[in-house]
Amino acid sequence: MFFSTVFPFTCMVALFRLLTTSLVFAALSSAGTLNAEERPNIVIIFLDDSGWGDFHPFGAPAYPTPNVQKLSEEGTRFNQFYVPQAVCSASRAALLSGAYPGRTGVNGAHGPGGRGLPRKFATMAEVLKKNGYATAHFGKWHIGDQEGTRPLARGFDEHAGLMYSNDMWRFHPTQPKKWGRKPLQFWENREVTIDDIDKEDQAMLTTWATEKSVDFIERKKDEPFFLYLAHSMPHVPLFCSDKFLGKSGAGLYGDVIMEIDWSVGQVNEALREAGLEENTIVIFSSDNGPWSVYGNHAGTTPFRGNKRTSFEGGTRSATIIKYPGKVKAGASCDLPLSTIDLLPTLCRLTGTQLPENEIDGKDVWPIITGKRGSENPHSYYAFSGSGFEAIISADGKWKLHLPHRYRVVVKPGKDGMPGRSARRKIKRSLFDLENDPYETKNVIGQHPAVAAKLQAIADAHKKKFWDKN
């Protein structure tokens, strides 16, 4: 009663948030993490539609991926790392903002003319730039191609790549008229340098993004930097440069993955040659699972579901984090984490002030470093598609699916053509991910109390983020 009559509760919440942020910032300052020489560089390598089993050591593909394998040996492998929505724009907006799609309103995959991430949500690049970081994005953007939504307007000093997916062009396999209305362009900073990308240009996308990244590292080695390397591949249509075409012996998809693996090696070698390896945190992940309807032009996952579903095959992303001397080498973590946690965690590491707007991610550095006894600071993680669809418990054991429709592949496609899919509906279901990570057995009847607890959390989340939309 005192707070409601003398000092409004909303003011108390705002004051508490301000004081908490100030205390954290002050603690970081006193610890010396704001020293320019000690602030870590950040490299995020984000793939497009990569499957869980595409790279060693997560899977056992027929082709070699020595550089990702080495990255896992030098860092920690995260086996239950999630994206909050298993599709392009929504996943990327969540990564850069630290906020759920239900909060930002960025859902699905935006085509040309997409409105992008609303300005009221700060990006990772914007907050790091305020803290003296040089920032660059190379590769696929896909959270706005209009004035005010492009990378240079959202905190990046440099940019080169596509504004949206590489299949949104006149050679689309099933809808060339729809996606060919506007040319697929290659941008460098504020200029269009290739007005209408052709197949020869597509074959160079991975190489160009890699070369730009290596050059950026070499030029910015004397100042803290944030490099966001967001490859267009292995999203269909698949392309790779001539030096990798046919190299895998496992078809075009294997060739594409081997070129991405090469790219990872080039970035890490550039860090070593610049003397930056020890003071750089490298994060390797993907925006969602494989687009399985494309058959042999899609990745693999042992889990149920794929891109555009809230099953593990869509939302669980093979992730590695390397930070020598800070993150354990050759380790494996089974606790759940999410891309929304990266922004607040990286703010903590770099002594960067959190965004003024509300976010949903939390600092999970103790879990990333493998600190004994660490617990997830969340009470749950949420997953959405066209609506709110599922949640998991903070310990990663239980997953509750709310009733919703999803697509299942009926007949996989081949050689760049999509196959057939059908719509299915899942009823309210509870899965024990610890014993059934493939979501095959609904145990809601055996654990009604667990389901009721998660349902109450889900109801509150839906009311907060989705009922207003």
Q: Using alpha carbons only, what angle is made at residue 216 by residues 136 and 193, rounded to the nearest 5 degrees?
A: 70
DSSP 417: B
Q: What strands, in cross-sheet order, belong to the sheet with 280-286?
A: 191-194, 186-188, 158-162, 134-140, 225-230, 41-47, 280-286, 319-322, 76-78, 331-333
Parallel/antiparallel/unpaired status of strands 191-194 and 186-188: antiparallel
Rounded Cα distance between 93 and 97, Å, is 6
In three-state secondary structure terms, 201 is helix
**Which one is catalytic: 110, 137, 142, 378?**
142
Q: Using alpha carbons only, what angle is made at residue 7 by residues 344 and 98, rounded to the nearest 5 degrees?
A: 15
Residue 277 CB: number of other CB atoms within 10 A?
A: 18
Q: Is 231 a catalytic residue?
A: no
Rounded Cα distance between 109 and 117, Å, is 12
Give per-residue burial for 237-249: e unless 16+ CB within 10 Å, then b. bbbbbeebeebbe
Residues 6+ apart with CB under 8 A from 387: 404, 466
* Pick from 213, 157, 216, 218: nearest CA to 190: 157
In three-state secondary structure terms, 446 is coil
- Render 234-298 in DSSP notation, one character per residue: TSSSP---TTTTTTSSSHHHHHHHHHHHHHHHHHHHHHHHTT-GGGEEEEEEESS---GGGGGGS
- Render 156-173 in DSSP notation, one character per residue: -SEEEEESS-TTSSTT-S
Q: Is 159 a catalytic residue?
A: no
**Which one is catalytic: 56, 88, 110, 401?**
88
Assess contact for 264 and 75: CB atoms under 8 A. Answer: no
Assess contact for 65 and 59: CB atoms under 8 A. Answer: no
Helix (H) or strand (E) holding 465: helix 448-465
Q: Which residues are catalytic?
A: 88, 142
